[in-house]
Structure 1
C-alpha cells in the first residue's frame, strides 16, 4: 500500500518495514484473530487455519483494516519521534535522526493519506467516520501530553483519558471496524470495541512499568524515556498518592539528574509499580470478559481465535519488552 511518486518519500514511509523491525505486529495479530472470532455464520472449513476459514473477499477487507491500522500506528510513531527528538526507535536509529524532521513528518502524513485511501476503498461510510475519530484522538492525546498544566500532569484521570486517545482508540476502533465489516450487531461490535479498548489500556500501563523496570536492550529504546521528557505516568502517579512530597520533585520537571534520582527513590519505596500492574491486570480481565460474552459458537476456528485473544490479555500483562 505504500507507493509514492518520489522515491525518497517512499523510502521514508517504508523505513521501519524495510529494516525488518516492524515491531511486534501486535495490532494486526489482534485484528485478524478478531476477524476469526466473529466469524459466526461461516460453515466450518475442512481446510482449517484460523484465517483461512473466512470467505476470501471478506478476509481481504479485514486484512485491509489490519494494514490501515498499522499504517496509522507507524505514522503516529514517526510524528512522536519528531516531537520527542527521539534518536532511536525499535532498536535502530529513528527516521528523523536518519533523514531529518521534515521528511519524517512528511512520511507520517503520507502514511496517513495512504491509510485513508484504503479506508475509502472499503466503501463504508461508518468506517470513514470511525477512522476520522481515531486520528482526531491521536492528535488530541499528543496535544494533551505536550500542553499540560501542573495539575493535569499529576491527575490520574487526565493520564487515563490521554492514554485512551493516544493508545487505546486506534486498536479499539479497529476491532469495531472488523465487527462492522463482518456485519455484526451493535452489541457484538461493542464487545469487540471493549476488548480493544481495555487491551490497549493494559498494554500502555505495562509499557509505563517497563519504562522504569526494562533495559534499553530489551525495550529497543532508552529506559526512563518518559520521566526524562517530563512525562508523568501511572507508576509515579500512584507513588505520589503514597508520598505527597514527591509532587515537589515532579513540579520541577526533572531537568536535573538529581530530581530523576529522587523520584526513582520515592518510586522504589512505594507501591507505584505494583499498583500499575494491578490496574493493567484489571483492564486485561475486562478485555477477556468481552470475548467470553460474545455469542456462542461451536466452530473450532472461532473458538481457537477467541482462546488466542484471551491468551493475548495474559501475554500483555506478563511481557518484559
Structure 2
C-alpha cells in the first residue's frame, strides 16, 4: 500500500496548479483505500506479483476519488472524512473538473499493461457506476422504493468498483475463468455489504467518528435499506412521518425518525442483509487458494460488520 501511495502521488502531477491542489486535498484526506487494498490482497491470494499491480491499484483509487468529487457536488455535501469537502473549499466547478482529470488520468494509466481485458473491465465499471449514480438521482425522494431497487443501485454505484478491483487481480494473475468469477463475486458481495453498513451508520453512527454529517441521506431524499425495512414494520403514523421526510428532504425530525428506525428493527434488518452479503464474500474467498492473503480477505469481509467509521 505504501507503493500504491507513491504511485498516486507521482501520477497526481499536473502543469495546472489547481488540479494538483484539489486532487491532493481529497486524496490526502485519509480514505480507507479499501479498493486498492482489495486488488493487492487478491493478487496475493493468487500468487500474483505482476509489475503493474500497484499501478492498477492506484487506477481504481483514482476512479473512486473522481466519483467522490462528483458525488459531493451532486449531493451538496459539506463534510467528508472529518473536514470540508473539496467543493466547499474550492467550489463546484473545480471539483467537477478535477474529478474529470482523475478519470482521464486513470484511463491513461490503465493502457500501460497493454491488456484489452483490463480496459474492458475498467471501462465497463466506470460506465456502470455512472448509470448507478443517475439511477440513484432518479430515485431521490421516492418513498415507494423497494429493497430490490435499492440493491440494484448499490451494486452499480458502489459494488461494481469493488468487483472490478478483485477481477483485475485475477486478470493480472492469468487466472482461469472460474477463479476470476470467484474473485468478482467476492468483490461484488464485499462492496454491497460495505454500502449497506454505510447506510446503517447514517442513522446510528457517531458524526465525529464517521467524519460526515449524520442524516445526509434523509436530507438528500435517499431511501436506503434501513428506511425500507422500517417502512415494512412501523405503524401508519410512523410511516407517514418517514415518507413526508423523504419526499420533502426534511431533517428537522431526524432524531425522531432515527428512533423509529431503531425501535422498529430497521437497523437489525439492514445489518442482517449486510451479513448475508459478507457471508457470500467469505464463501467466495474460501474458494481461492488457502494462504494468508485469502484468509485476510475472509477477515476483511467479517470485519465490515463491526465497522463504525
Answer whether TM exceeds 0.5 for this pair.
yes
Which of 1, 25, 43 is the aligned partner of 1:15? Answer: 25
1:223-279 Cα offsets, whole Å, 9 max, x none, are 111111111111110011112634433443244445545533431321110011111
Aligned to 1:213: 204
Aligned to 2:36: 28
Aligned to 2:5: none
- Compare 188-197 and 137-146 and name the one that shifted more: 137-146
- Compare 118-127 and 107-116 and name the one that shifted more: 118-127
Q: 1:172 and 1:126, CA in 2 relative to 1: closer, same or farther beyond 3 A?
A: same
1:99-135 Cα offsets, whole Å, 9 max, x none, are 1100000010000000001111121111111111111
Aligned to 1:236: 227
Is 1:178–2:169 an aligned residue pair? yes
SS in 2 for 1:242: coil
> Matches of 1:203 and 1:268 in 2, distance apart?
20
> Matches of 2:141 and 2:61 in 1, distance apart?
33
SS in 2 for 1:315: helix
1:135-155 Cα offsets, whole Å, 9 max, x none, are 111111111111127667521
Aligned to 1:305: 293
Give 1:79 deviation, angstroms: 0.3
Uncovered stretches (5+) of structure 2, i.e. residues with no partner: 1-10
SS in 1 for 2:139: coil
> Matches of 1:141 and 1:172 in 2, distance apart?
14
Is 1:272–2:266 an aligned residue pair? yes
Alignment map for 1:52-91 (pairs within 5 Å): 55=49, 58=50, 60-91=51-82
Aligned to 2:3: none
Which of 217, 220, 224 is the aligned partner of 1:226? Answer: 217
Cα RMSD of the aligned pairs, angstroms, is: 1.7
Q: Is the Cα contact below 8 Å between 1:90 and 1:220 reproduced in 2?
A: yes
> Matches of 1:217 and 1:259 in 2, distance apart?
20
Q: 1:218 and 1:233, CA in 2 relative to 1: closer, same or farther beyond 3 A?
A: same
Give 1:217 deviation, angstroms: 0.4
> Matches of 2:34 and 2:67 in 1, distance apart?
15
Q: Is the Cα contact below 8 Å between 1:153 and 1:231 reproduced in 2?
A: no
SS in 1 for 2:32: coil
TM-score by length of 1: 0.87
> Matches of 1:66 and 1:77 in 2, distance apart?
17
Aligned to 2:84: 93
> Matches of 2:251 and 2:63 in 1, distance apart?
35
Aligned to 1:293: 287
Aligned to 1:109: 100
Uncovered stretches (5+) of structure 1, i.e. residues with no partner: 40-53, 298-302
Aligned to 2:4: none
> Matches of 2:295 and 2:250 in 1, distance apart?
47
Aligned to 1:159: 150
Q: Is the Cα contact below 8 Å between 1:168 and 1:198 reproduced in 2?
A: yes
> Matches of 1:192 and 1:152 in 2, distance apart?
35
Q: Is the Cα contact below 8 Å between 1:96 and 1:103 reproduced in 2?
A: yes
Q: Is the Cα contact below 8 Å between 1:87 and 1:97 reproduced in 2?
A: yes
Q: 1:163 and 1:153, CA in 2 relative to 1: closer, same or farther beyond 3 A?
A: farther
Q: 1:11 and 1:258, CA in 2 relative to 1: closer, same or farther beyond 3 A?
A: closer
* Higher Cα radius of gyration: 1
> Matches of 2:167 and 2:235 in 1, distance apart?
40
